[in-house]
Amino acid sequence: MSGMTGSLRTRQDLVRAAAAILQPLTSCMTPGKARIYVGNGSAHYAEDVSGMECWSRALWALVPMLMGRCPEAEALWPLWQEGMIHGTDPEHEEYWGDIRDYDQRMVEMAVIGCGLCFVPESFWHPLNERQRQHLYDWLNQINLYDMPKNNWRFFRILVNIGFLKNGLPVDEVRMQEDMDMMESHYTADGWYFDYPTKRDYYTLWGFHFYSLLYAAVMEGNEPERCRRIRERAALIAPRFACWFDKEGRGLPYGRSLTYRFCQSSFWAAATFAGVECNAPDIGQMKHLLLNNLRFWLNRPIFDRGGALTVGYGYPNLCAAEGYNAQGSPYWGLKTFWILAMPEDHPFWQAEEKEYMPPESFLDEQVRLLLTRDPENRQVVAYTAGNHAWEHMHEDEKYEKFAYSTQFAFSVAKEDSALNRGAYDSMLAVRAVGRDLWHVRSGCTQYRLAEDRVSFTWSPMNGVTIDTVIAPKGMWHVRKHVIRTTVPLEAAEGAFSIPRDWAGARPCDRVCTQTEANECRAAAAGERGTSVICALKGYTSGEVIATEPNTNLMEPRCVLPTLHSRLEPGEHILLCAVYADSGNNLPDRIPEEVKKLAGSL
């Protein structure tokens, strides 16, 4: 894909990119075209379901391409149409099966509902009566079984809209009840959340994306609800724009990051639904979407056959969720919904313009203090109050001290050693000589302000920590007041950066220099600079070569780390951390950073 990303600027460029992503899937189809298998990994649901999932998720690009009358889609659609006919036929050997409560296939039904709604001339009109009945019966199962009380309700809503727009039987009362439930998840400032302490991208690529599709088609039925939906999207747009840096990178934060360029799907849905924003304006939204796509399609995220892989910056199962099968990353194709817009739409006619958010912005709803350098080369976010459960590596995905678009973050392979734990942007502690390492996993209280975040947490029995983190440019200061009843070892990590690596391609070759002494640890090179400086309470610095494939963005990293040894009692640890997207190793701590540290 990297060959086309430099020219990813026009509608036809995106059409070619979408077709290039979809085409390799055709060789992975089963004989009946109802499933697609692109690899041999698995998820918590069965392989036959994951094959159907991959088939379905391709439609998130194919449906808008059909809406936009793209010839490339017309050539591909007969294959998926054949799969849909066979997959919904109970007598066919590739039938997708009967579902049950909380079934993954409910998720995958949503885009078929969108096809019925927006392009019935492809999804419905060509079918004979028998095929129509099979399609309706299979999809209607979503109305017969229970599902989570979260963004999943949109999947049923979208199926029922498809029924409604084709004159099929539909329980409109239940559809309104589902929409009322989704609106009950709204808080303020444009933010919806599945759960109070799990605040992440699902607001954008879930709640907003689906509700904006709803608003685009249900205006005549529910004008007031559709007005609210658009207003909320306009409210969140400038806040969400703060998550992106100059390179097009979205903030790596939260779960489901393997969906990658789904990060920019909100801009596609907002444009499709006619959301009017003063900031970002349509040219800036265009840049946010295209720049994010350009970044992702230039990363090594495809296998040699052209299929998307599970991972983030490269293929990597370590950070995957239990619901990430081999076809799951195709959820990111929702960003190609922008192709529903014809060539003469204002989005395509607008000139791309960079959007420059404020250098510091506190978004209390999502519990992030977002900062950036003056050139927007890197976004660093500080968080307090979010906590997830039920998913893999939830502490790493929601409870690091800081998250960077430049350096991403690392996940632990195991907690018995610092290199395998890869505790970047974390304070890890353990009882001396006999315990695993422990990090923040929830907090008993927290506070976010425009210049700092603070929280109280307990990583293990007998240990309570009050932490304050205050940013100053691309520096930030961390202060921990630790009360412990047991002797502790402590290790405080900065950001992980790529280590020396002689890659196969010249652009992959990395040269990183490291240094460490009793008061600091640092690493710097072409891929960035990471420094941590001791101000109080630490005993030594070390640059740790972390276990391969722990970092989401780069497979081999080093992590500047400070160490401390704490006896029972109360202690203060104080340090300054620096992160820069270039090779800019500082020779000292700036006076304003020292002054900030002294004031905490």
Quick: pLDDT tens for 462-514. Answer: 999 999 999 999 999 999 999 999 999 999 999 999 987 666 666 666 788 99
Q: Give me the phi and psi of 54, to 5 degrees please.
A: -65, -40
Residue-number span of the structural domain to which 33 is assigned: 2-349
pLDDT at position 420 is: 97
Residue that is last in its domain, among 329, 349, 369: 349
384 and 262 both lie in a single domain: no
pLDDT at position 600 is: 94
Residue 72 CB contacts under 8 Å (≥ 6 apart), including other chains: 15, 16, 18, 19, 65
pLDDT at position 1 is: 61
396 and 336 both lie in a single domain: no
Whether 271 shows a pLDDT value over 90: the answer reads yes
Q: Where are the alpha helices (DSSP H) in 218-330?
A: 223-241, 265-272, 282-297
**Tens digits of residue pLDDT in 314-350:** 999 999 999 999 999 999 999 999 999 999 999 999 9
- What's the mean per-residue pLDDT of the chain? 95
Q: ∠ CA(386), CA(392), CA(394), 5° rounding?
A: 15
In the block, tokens 């295209």 appear at 290
Tell me the percentage of the chain whose pLDDT exceeds 90.
91
Whether 2 shows a pLDDT value over 70: the answer reads no
486 and 451 both lie in a single domain: yes
179 and 305 both lie in a single domain: yes
pLDDT at position 503 is: 64
Q: How many domains does the chain have?
A: 2
Q: Are strands 497-498 and 445-449 parallel, antiparallel or unpaired?
A: unpaired
pLDDT at position 142 is: 97
Whether 197 shows a pLDDT value over 80: the answer reads no
Whether 155 shows a pLDDT value over 60: the answer reads yes
- Domain holding 304: CATH number? 1.50.10
DSSP3 helix / strand / coil % (the chain, rounded to 5): 35, 20, 40
Instruction: Evaluate whether residue 171 is within a structural domain.
Output: yes
The H or E element containing residue 32 is: none
pLDDT at position 298 is: 95
Per-residue pLDDT, averaged over 214-222, amounts to: 95
Please spell the DSSP secondary structure of 511-529, one letter per residue.
-EEEEE-SSEEEEEETTEE
CA 308 to CA 60: how far, in whole Å? 14
DSSP single-letter state for residue 174: H
274 and 405 both lie in a single domain: no
Instruction: Evaluate whether residue 355 is within a structural domain.
Output: no
The H or E element containing residue 563 is: strand 557-566
Amino acid at 339: L
335 and 394 both lie in a single domain: no
Q: Are strands 360-363 and 475-484 parallel, antiparallel or unpaired?
A: unpaired
Q: Give me the phi and psi of 166, to 5 degrees please.
A: -110, 15
474 and 337 both lie in a single domain: no
Give CA torsion, residues 555, 324, 40, 24, to 10 deg.
-90
549: buried, middle or exposed (CB in 10 Å: 19+, 13-18, 0-12)? buried
Nearest Cα residue to 268 out of 171, 333, 367, 336: 336
Model pTM score? 0.96
Instruction: Evaluate whether residue 548 is within a structural domain.
Output: yes
The end-to-end CA distance of the chain, in Å, is 48
Nearest Cα residue to 427 out of 544, 563, 523: 563
Nearest Cα residue to 159 out of 117, 203, 99, 102: 117
Q: How far is CA 357 from CA 279, 378, 482, in A?
A: 9, 12, 36
Strands of the sheet with 463-472, listed across from one edge: 445-449, 452-460, 463-472, 475-484, 569-580, 528-536, 520-525, 512-516
Instruction: Evaluate whether residue 475 is within a structural domain.
Output: yes
pLDDT at position 435 is: 81
Residue that is last in its domain, among 349, 368, 387: 349
231 and 137 both lie in a single domain: yes
pLDDT at position 69 is: 97
Instruction: Evaluate whether residue 354 is within a structural domain.
Output: no
539 and 489 both lie in a single domain: yes
CA 412 to CA 547: how far, in whole Å? 9
- Domain holding 574: CATH number? 2.70.98
CA 553 to CA 411: how far, in whole Å? 11
**Tens digits of residue pLDDT in 530-545:** 999 999 999 999 999 9
CA 83 to CA 89: how far, in whole Å? 10
379 and 334 both lie in a single domain: no
The H or E element containing residue 181 is: helix 172-183
The H or E element containing residue 303 is: none
Tell me the percentage of the chain whose pLDDT exceeds 70.
98
**Tens digits of residue pLDDT in 398-420:** 999 999 999 999 999 999 999 99
Per-residue pLDDT, averaged over 370-374, amounts to: 97
Residue that is last in its domain, among 293, 325, 349: 349
Instruction: Evaluate whether residue 201 is within a structural domain.
Output: yes
Q: Decide if 318 contacts 420 (C-beta within 8 A).
A: no
Whether 129 shows a pLDDT value over 70: the answer reads yes
408 and 338 both lie in a single domain: no
CA 104 to CA 113: how far, in whole Å? 15
Whether 47 shows a pLDDT value over 90: the answer reads yes
Per-residue pLDDT, averaged over 112-137, amounts to: 98
Instruction: Evaluate whether residue 564 is within a structural domain.
Output: yes
Instruction: Evaluate whether residue 274 is within a structural domain.
Output: yes
CA 367 to CA 362: how far, in whole Å? 8
155 and 268 both lie in a single domain: yes
Q: Which of 155-164, 342-351, 579-588 has the lowest mean pLDDT?
A: 579-588
